Structure 1
């Protein structure tokens, strides 16, 4: 008599249940619901939860310095490696920077056009932001701006160290030490992010308790705006780039549909990295270009992440009714051009990038991240899918520009 696995269906149900209850997104969702209920039915207790949300943000802020420094230093040293491989590496870096900057600019532009952070003409004004904006009336001084800005000091130090590291004789050994230290720091951040449900609960309970259920409206608008912007970016920007090389974006998406579904299920573009490399080689891209562009693109070509980060900054500015000058908008794009590199694949790194950008700008309260945490997890799929599509297109374009793209194994429906 066979007594092994007497009820496979029941075992499968248990496995699915275990996967759900151990998923951080599940607990963030539960925390959001609990926070909304507490803030709505017991506003006075909801207001007391502000300490919890602020405490989580304070923990996040502790990681800003080391993570920004390590990410930038290791990123610049990686650029040195790219340059060593010659023309393809430089061409890849140029493409990455141009397209990701376009993504940042589009995120800012659409956020200003659709205004997801506004539900009326004055914004929600979640907190008095005057302490962040009073300095704007003073005479502006670059020196004072730099000396009072820890994040910019870290950025400058990291850029200088990264450049000098490329000329250091013991460069490889130093990079190895920094990579090990980086793993330790990111592991610490990973454990801190396990507290994300508490941060989401505290931030949402306080916000709903003080301002009511209408504060959920801008969050919903932000989600719609982010998904819409990424859709437009993929089909208009990336689609136009492919069209120049007589390739149809829709056919490319059909060709990599399995990888897109994998990313949708895991919320991580890195989950599809091995299979997308194989598919691109079968499509006709040379092995050398695929091996260089795809892994590097996961650090330098984060189109989806760039769109999300830039829209989030403008969203928070609108939420706090903070006016950003044209110079400050350029500052946001400039900072994100640097800090967004390496923000993929590491839980919580996106929040570090946002926190560092807000800290450097010194106009928008960093505490607003607790409010944003409520929907961040539900936009991770859009970021990951857009990142994957962006790196796929980059590989095809660079192969085409190098005339290193064969059509022997290319599906006929891929060509426009």
Structure 2
């Protein structure tokens, strides 16, 4: 454990306008206003958001690789690695299934699509043809084979999180098995990780620009007015996701001895970034660093966060069953209990089969409906206009779910540093992307871990 020192406190509080979350929030508001009052200009700013997301994706593979390799090699207990993975996947399976069930129950109770009386024959199926084609390619077998990269290096350069995870785990295990002979490599990788996380801090300076461009594009292209047409669905989805986070994940957090609201406050800058860009990947490097900084071991963070981004998609799962039943209700298709259970089972598989695919929420919905013939796939055209707005809520819910999973698995393993975690939850540690002492603290953590070994 790191002793209490000035490193754990910000000796000179920065002005409010220098905080990343304030800058991102201002950028989001400015983007909304520009997109609303000058939609053509807002739509033209799409490259700003795309460029920032590309910058972050550029650094994701090195962050995941270094975090996992140094974490596993530093543990030197391969049985512990397997135990952590088993606990993480058990958690993912339970709460992903629960999210699907929640979406199904809410759709049956609220019935947001009832009364629309849409004739499926009048819908333009061509609008969703591309999504249906991608869903057809996203089979479970194809997904499993896709985890294996064509080469070791392509796993680090292909942009597939699961391939990077696969390569990093293998390399970390190999490094751990050679014992002391791998110590020099491990120390070099730990030093390299300091530079990589410093790059993350540099890239986060551009977060307000990216959020501004992405939000201006969204409002400029789709317009706030599109929400009114399907307000019942959007409102139901947002409320359901909020209740899932506060009630379900809040209960899990309380059972594990922490507050979900304090965790959300701790991650406020990342959550605003996810909101502005509609992509949880944009905040993945920062989430990894912040969870480590909050007392979660690097080995657990490295396993839980990247795999959670593909297997622990609470928001996406709520969306899938809720949207599927909305389409059925709007088209006057009454599903029996057996058909709804079939829908649930298919959604459990398809949500894994399209993991890591851009626009995964809409694609997995297409994959599910294509296997359940009772609900017309063409009905997806009904929600295409507001899917972008729901994408933001999906990403936020997924992000919070993975943060909670990381803390829970760390606690199950008895590896959560409670003093460091409590300090982080009470704002007594500098934020990684905002403070130049971040690298110093990271070095202190690495050195302390080395002494513990």
Task: Identify the TM-score tier after normalising by the shorter chain.
Answer: 0.5 to 0.7
- Determine the C-alpha separation between the residues in 1 that align with 2:310 and 2:228: 33
> Hey, what's the Cα distance between the residues in 1 that align with 2:414 and 2:256?
11
Aligned Cα root-mean-square deviation (Å): 4.1
Do the aligned partners of residues 318 and 216 (structure 1) sit closer, same or farther apart at CA in structure 2, a change above 3 Å counting?
farther
Distance 2:322 2:45 in 1: 26
236-245 vs 15-24, which moves further: 15-24
For structure 1, the residue ranges without an aligned partner over 5 or more in a row are: 1-11, 26-80, 130-150, 184-196, 202-212
Q: Is contact 2:280-2:398 (8 Å) kept? A: yes
Structure-1 residue corresponding to 2:44:
22
Q: CA deviation at 1:85?
A: 3.7
Deviation at 1:281, TM superposition (A): 1.0
Normalised to the residue count of structure 2, the TM-score between the two structures is: 0.56
Hey, what's the Cα distance between the residues in 1 that align with 2:108 and 2:101? Answer: 11
Distance change in 2, residues 1:334/1:281 (3 Å) = same
Tell me if the contact between 1:358 and 1:365 (Cα under 8 Å) persists in the aligned partners.
yes
Q: Which residue of 2 aligns with 1:390?
A: 401
2:84 matches 1:88: yes
Q: Deviations over 1:76-102 (max 9, x none)?
A: xxxxx9999411111111110110110
Deviations 1:94-133 (A, max 9, x none): 11011011001001110111111013xxx5132369xxxx
Normalized against structure 1, the TM-score is what?
0.61
* 1:341, distance to aligned residue in structure 2 (A): 2.3
Among 256, 268, 273, the alignment partner of 2:267 is 256
| Residue 117, structure 1, aligned to residue 113, structure 2 | yes
Cα 1:181–1:323 shift into 2, 3 Å? farther
Please give the per-residue CA displacement for 1:327-353, whole angstroms capped at 9, x wherever unaligned: 211111111111112656644333221
Which residue of the partner structure matches residue 101 of structure 1?
Answer: 97
Whole-angstrom distance in 1 between the partners of 2:388 and 2:332: 25
Deviation, 1:172, is 5.6
Residues 1:178 and 1:19: Cα distance change in structure 2 (over 3 Å): farther
Whether the aligned pair in 1 keeps the contact of 2:278 and 2:391 (CA below 8 Å) is yes
Given that 1:269 and 1:345 are in contact with CA atoms closer than 8 Å, whether structure 2 keeps it comes out as no
How many residue pairs get matched?
294
**In 1, distance between residues paired with 2:240 and 2:303?**
28
The residue that corresponds to 1:409 in the other structure is 420
Identify if the C-alpha distance between structure 1 residues 340 and 19 changes in structure 2 by more than 3 Å, giving closer, same or farther.
Answer: farther
- In the alignment, which residue of structure 1 is the partner of 2:120? 127
- Pairing 1:121-200 to 2, within 5 Å after superposition: 123-127=116-120, 155=139, 158=142, 173=150
Relative to structure 1, is the Cα distance of residues 319 and 84 closer, same or farther in structure 2, using a 3 angstrom cutoff? farther
- In 2, the alpha carbon distance for the partners of 1:237 and 1:357 equals 25
Counterpart position of 2:240: 229
Instruction: Flag structure 2 segments of 5+ consecutive residues without an equivalent.
Output: 1-29, 48-71, 73-77, 123-134, 161-217, 427-453
Which deviations, in whole Å up to 9, do the C-alpha atoms of 1:267-290 show, x marking residues without a partner? 111111111111111111111100
Q: Is the 8 A contact 1:344 1:350 kept in 2?
A: no
Q: 1:96 to 1:23 in 2, by over 3 A?
A: farther
- Aligned partner of 2:378 in structure 1 is 367
